[in-house]
Structure 1
Amino acid sequence: MKELLKYLLIFLGSFFVLLGLVGIVVPLIPTTPLLLLGAFCYARSSEKLYHWLLNTKWLGEYIRSFQAGHGIPTRTKFIAIAVLWLTSGYSIFFLIPLLWVKVLLIGVVSYITYFIWSIKSKVAKKEN
């Protein structure tokens, strides 16, 4: 039974990491929470996969920054919110015909905007 749980966690971890990768490109899919879920699953099932994820060039930085409590750079917040509203706005105004779906999508995008903005901002270190 313990072996089955290990393989299930590896599968789920890989699934969440894959979704996190998609989230880098697709604005409505949250990258960092999915990568954190993947890291959680890997940490409980495979030390090798967990260390691999933490040490990957691009993905590891998301997880390490969050674990260290550094937050997200303000510039990244602005870019994420701008891309979110541009892509969602196009869908809302040009692709979706139903008013209730438009209102629902505006609500979801507004909440995601609030969530992104409420995350602690990472302060850039000044070099002398």
Structure 2
Amino acid sequence: MKSQTKKILLLVIGWFFVLLGMIGIFLPVLPTTPFLLVALWAFSQSSERFHDWLYTHRLFGPPLQDWSKHGVIPLHAKIFAVVTMATSATLVILFTATPWWGIALMLALMLAGAGFVLTRPSRRPAAGED
């Protein structure tokens, strides 16, 4: 892929995920920070200006910086993620004809995802603990 084409594609991806992140502020079913992390990555490959804007944004910047520097996932996001996974699994098990192996695979992936989320710190270290 040509460099200019790649840059434009990554800019489009970045802005698409910024838009999804902004929608996620108002719709609790959309996780804002993961979308903004994708946008931040896309901008890091295409536009230093937009990357810096997003990373230092008054509203969006702090959670991105917490993840980038400390791997932080806030407690409310952890709770939301686990509750959403549990609800989704329950609905699939109760209301679909998914074969046992599909349910087992889904549960294994959800457990792996929940394990990852739950083992990340919930807040940044106190000053001096960095």
CA RMSD of aligned residues (A): 3.1
CA contact (8 A) 1:13 1:39 kept: yes
Which runs of 5 or more structure 1 residues have no equivalent in the other structure? Answer: none
For the residue of structure 1 that corresponds to 2:98, the secondary structure is coil
1:31/1:106 CA distance change after superposition, 3 Å: farther
Q: Deviations over 1:25-81 (max 9, x none)?
A: 25xxx7645432321221231233223433163x43331211231612334322321
Amino acid at match of 2:67: F
Tell me whether 1:109 sits opposite 2:119 in the alignment.
no
Report the count of equivalent residues.
121
1:48-67 pair list within 5 angstroms: 48-54=49-55, 55=57, 57=59, 59-67=60-68
What does 1:1-128 align with in structure 2 at a 5 Å threshold? Answer: 1-17=2-18, 25=29, 32-54=33-55, 55=57, 57=59, 59-69=60-70, 71-122=72-123
Residue identity over aligned pairs, in percent, reads 28
Partner Cα separation in structure 1 for residue 20 and residue 116 of structure 2: 19
In the superposition, the TM-score normalised over structure 2's length comes to 0.68
Cα 1:72–1:48, aligned 2, differ >3 Å: closer, same or farther? same
8 A contact 1:73–1:121 mirrored in 2: yes
Change (3 A) 1:5 1:118: same
Stretches of structure 2 lacking an aligned partner (at least 5 in a row): none
8 Å contact kept, 1:73–1:124: no
What is the TM-score with the length of structure 1 in the denominator?
Answer: 0.69
